Structure 1
Amino acid sequence: MSKEDLEITDNEFLRQFETQIDGELATIEYSQQERKIFLTKLIMPDGSEDRQEDFIVAVLAEIKERNTRVVPTSPEIAGFIRRNRRKYKDLLPVGINI
């Protein structure tokens, strides 16, 4: 299963992005202010850590389509963006370095 297979749902009521991984729910919680979205918490089903990056990539692609800036406050997401800085630096608000 690749990241293209992940279907991302934006559950606006619970303020989280969701996907099913091996039949279990994975979520990234967020809060939104103006044109920024704060990714605050990543929850992955046990044993699915190998799919974590696929989920993050899919959510970041969804956010990019909305022309919204990302402030990653979740340590896992901040670490991912730090490791892939060149690809995602345009999603960060001006003046934000991680």
Structure 2
Amino acid sequence: MSDEEMIITDNEFLRQFETRINNELAVIEYSQQERKIFLTKLRMPENSEDKQEDFIMAVLSEIKERNTRVVPTSPEIAGYMRKNRRKYKDLLPVGINI
């Protein structure tokens, strides 16, 4: 797997998006209500913080393809979306600001 290629799996049973980084599991947990997905928790393998933004970006891209709104309750994900506000503002539900 190259640096750019990150394969995201939606584990619906555990309600989490998953990818492998350095052969370890990275996870974004979620809960879903109607057409909104709440990204509640981010877990990254040790020493892989440099891949955190790539993982968040890949998950947000996956969600965007589903035409679903995102409510980032995880501080790391909310921070990433705040930093990239213009790119992701259309993913936020009406009335939600980060």
- Normalising by the residue count of structure 2, what TM-score does the alignment of the two structures yield? 0.97
SS of the equivalent of 1:95 reads coil
* Structure 2: gaps (5+ residues): none
2:74 alignment counterpart: 74
1:20 alignment counterpart: 20
User: One-letter code of the match for 2:28?
Assistant: I
2:60 alignment counterpart: 60
The C-alpha deviation readout for 1:2-24, integer Å capped at 9, x for no partner, is 2xx10000000000000000100
The C-alpha deviation readout for 1:65-86, integer Å capped at 9, x for no partner, is 0000000000000000000000
User: One-letter code of the match for 1:93?
Assistant: P
Instruction: Report the identity percentage.
Output: 81
CA distance in 1, matches of 2:22, 2:89: 31
CA distance in 2, matches of 1:36, 1:45: 27
The C-alpha deviation readout for 1:44-97, integer Å capped at 9, x for no partner, is 000000000000000000000000000000000000000000000000000000
- Normalising by the residue count of structure 1, what TM-score does the alignment of the two structures yield? 0.97
Q: How many residues align?
A: 96
Q: RMSD across aligned C-alpha pairs, in angstroms? A: 0.3
Give every structure 1 segment of 4 or more consecutive aligned residues whose post-TM-superposition deviation is greater than 6 Å: none
